[in-house]
Amino acid sequence: MDAIGRILARSLSAHLKETVIVSNVAGATGRRAAVQVAHARPDGRTLLMGTSATHAIAPSVFPRLSYRPDQDFTAVGSVCSTRLLLVANPAFEARSLEGLIAVSQAASLPLLYGSWGTGSGGHLVAEAIRLHRGIDLSHVPYQGIRPMMQDLLGGQIPLAVSDMAGALALAREGKVIPLVISGTSRYPQLPQVATLAESGVPFTTESWCALFAPARTPGPVLARLESALRAALAEVSVQQALRVLGYESEPLGREVFLRQWQLDIAAWRRIVVATGIRLD
């Protein structure tokens, strides 16, 4: 998020003709920053780089969440999205989700898979696969994608769910084997990998980043911010920088993204309800 924020800040500064400063607020996977912005003055000068984790997943996973994403915030617009991949160590027998099902059926114990934390997008996507395809999987949560991928490469776990930034280069080099990918269509750089929907898992939501302002921010202020965001995301240099990080530029306007946001909240909630995942 820091890298994405700095890429965006440089361009927004030029289009807004004001200095845009990135302030990193560590803790609780973005929820602490969300609380600060939720309580900020709604004048358009304090914004949040929110994610599907903070603004679509958190309301269902955390019953006592200290902010209400769809009430305490309004969206300026979407910024970018990334796919989620189920990947395997090359020594693992399967090369597709169907192959994974066959391995699972022959195994005497549940297959271990890693994610970057309990209640994360990676965890929930794997649980959706488990539920819809009947695979016997056991979750191993990590404090981030990097240590998870290190254990996958080292053979401590056979499977993991990663975002594109953590897995794409390794997949190209053959160091991990992608089995299935999220999204509504195949990923151009991994065209051989089937999507979840193609593989019998009715889940098309992706992991995204979006710019949010506190609720009650005036309409004219939001319109100015949305215009600057659109202009920033239209720059080829910004698109290229996001692509290097494994993200796809997705400049949805406010109204379109607001509708997508509500659909995503419902999509993640269905998985949380079906699995019973809850965190304090």
Using CB atoms within 10 Å of the CB of residue 155, give its burial: 0 to 12 exposed, 13 to 18 middle, 19+ buried: exposed
Question: Which pLDDT belongs to residue 25?
Answer: 86
Question: Which pLDDT belongs to residue 253?
Answer: 79
pTM: 0.90
CATH architecture of 2-81+206-275: 3-Layer(aba) Sandwich (3.40)
Using CB atoms within 10 Å of the CB of residue 32, give its burial: 0 to 12 exposed, 13 to 18 middle, 19+ buried: middle
The domain limits of the chain are 2-81+206-275, 84-181
Question: Which pLDDT belongs to residue 184?
Answer: 86
Domain 84-181 belongs to what topology? D-Maltodextrin-Binding Protein; domain 2 (3.40.190)
10-residue mean pLDDT series, the chain (280 residues): 92 96 81 92 95 93 90 94 96 96 95 95 95 94 95 98 93 96 91 94 89 96 96 95 87 86 93 86
SS3 of 209, please? strand
Q: What is the DSSP string of 147-168?
A: HHHHHHHHTS-SEEEEEHHHHH
Question: Which pLDDT belongs to residue 27?
Answer: 67
Q: Do domains 2-81+206-275 and 84-181 have the same CATH topology?
A: yes
